[in-house]
Structure 1
Amino acid sequence: MDKKEYNALNINYEEIERYLRAGKLIIYPTDTVYGVGGIIESEETIENIYKAKERNFKSPLIVLVSDVEKIEKIAYINEKNREKIEKLIKRFWPGGLTIILKRKDNVPDIMVSGGATVGVRMPEHEIALNIISRAGGMLPTTSANISGEATPKSYLELSEEFKSRIDIIVDGGECPIGSASTIIDMSDEPKILRLGAISVEEIEKVIGKINGEEKN
């Protein structure tokens, strides 16, 4: 299959779906940064993401979803935290918050480094959501760069070397947020793993103090 390149005005989603179903990788814009992804059903495809990035297999990928209902296809929502998780989703999805949950067995070990959890996010970006939907509503993704390079916040920041390794490339201009998502672990006691697009203060306004003390 030939390499395919699109811009925001000429995207052929049916063609992208065929390529993804054939195990090809895609560079695409999201609301935070440019991502590289491939279908979740193929461990070989996920392995190729790591190879393209020259990334250590100990670094998990996250799953971008096209709608909230897809969460429980790949993860368990801890009943103890369900109310807080639902509040976070209502306030920050679609958007720049990645939520770590206990994973289900259908999540390939390779994409979560054999761990017990998986990160899930719904982006606020029409092109991204359409692509994810074409991939079955769940698309394992990480930033579209070789490990050690700067994370691309626009199409112009993608490296030519990295683009040469990928089968489908979508030019969507600049990413609206332009910074990585904040990651919160909700698989047990809430814990911020990475600060990004959403601040601790914003999160605590929704679910109370992260250290377990409720906000008055």
Structure 2
Amino acid sequence: MKKEVVMKKLFESSNLNYEEISNMVADGDLIIYPTDTVYGLGASIEMKESLDRIYEVKERDQKSPLIALLSDKKYVEKVAVINELNRKEIEKLIENFWPGGLTIILDKKRIIPSNMVSNGTSVGVRIPNHKISIKIIESCGGILATTSANISGEPSPRSYEELSEEIKSRVEIVVDDNETPKGVESTIIDMRGTPKILREGHITQIEIEKIIGKMK
């Protein structure tokens, strides 16, 4: 990858222009922004070239899918299919852990590009518990394809200060926020069939089982 400075705009959290951010993302620009877990690297789901660029920026192959961060639960069924057998359990998880550090894996709808999910049939969805990130996502249509804002092999950045200068130089938009995220990545649970935790992070299996019962 050609390493050159491309950043167009650094936004301070105290003075965010959401309309400008929305227009830039709609034009295909990449954004680094805070979430409730770690700093995220995002792009519009409608811009396939921008999704490809996320992998280039991270120096990562496309075997690791991006997730869809949402601003509201009303967008879940715009991007994903809820299995009716699990609907009650999924609704309980959403009610108890969103906004928050739980990513739910569901079957994807056609609106999700194949290069966002490694040509797979599923997508991870989550609402972050962070007012600024929710406003950013809402301004961008309620959905942002997102991954952690680090070059592969680097630690996931827990604050603006932990973002590498290299990755900041490779995107067009960076949001500087003085509210430090929790620094723990989200828990990932597959709810397409029998519930299965794929990664335990901010929310524990015990907490989840209190809501939907014991998992096999």
Q: Same fold (TM over 0.5)?
A: yes
Unmatched tracts of structure 2, length 5 or more:
1-5
Aligned residue number for residue 17 of structure 1: 22
Question: Counterpart of 1:9 in 2: which secondary structure?
Answer: helix
Percent same amino acid among aligned pairs?
59
- Is the aligned partner of 1:124 residue 2:129? yes
Farther off after superposition, 8-17 or 153-162: 8-17
Aligned residue number for residue 108 of structure 2: 103
State which of 54, 61, 68 in structure 2 corresponds to 1:63: 68
How far apart in 2 are the matches of 1:176 and 1:156? 11
How far apart in 2 are the matches of 1:54 and 1:173? 27
How far apart in 2 are the matches of 1:9 and 1:177? 20
State which of 163, 168, 171 in structure 1 corresponds to 2:168: 163
TM-score w.r.t. structure 1 length?
Answer: 0.96
Q: 1:49 to 1:183 in 2, by over 3 A?
A: same
Is the CA contact (8 Å cut-off) linking 2:70 and 2:144 kept in structure 1?
yes
What is the aligned-residue RMSD (CA, Å)?
1.1
How far apart in 2 are the matches of 1:206 and 1:36? 31
Farther off after superposition, 169-178 or 193-202: 169-178
Aligned residue number for residue 90 of structure 1: 95
Unmatched tracts of structure 1, length 5 or more:
212-216
Question: Counterpart of 2:170 in 1: which secondary structure?
Answer: coil
Q: CA deviation at 1:175?
A: 3.3
How far apart in 2 are the matches of 1:74 and 1:2? 29
Aligned residues: 211
State which of 32, 40, 46 in structure 1 corresponds to 2:45: 40
Show CA shifts across 1:164-186 (max 9, x none). 00100001134332210000000
Aligned residue number for residue 26 of structure 1: 31
Q: CA deviation at 1:135?
A: 1.1
How far apart in 2 are the matches of 1:33 and 1:176? 6
Q: CA deviation at 1:112?
A: 0.5
How far apart in 1 are the matches of 2:44 and 2:209? 34
How far apart in 1 are the matches of 2:123 and 2:7? 32
Show CA shifts across 1:143-173 (max 9, x none). 0000110100000000000100010000113
How far apart in 1 are the matches of 2:126 and 2:80? 12
Letter in structure 1 aligned against 2:65: P
- Is the aligned partner of 1:137 residue 2:119? no
Question: Counterpart of 1:166 in 2: which secondary structure?
Answer: coil
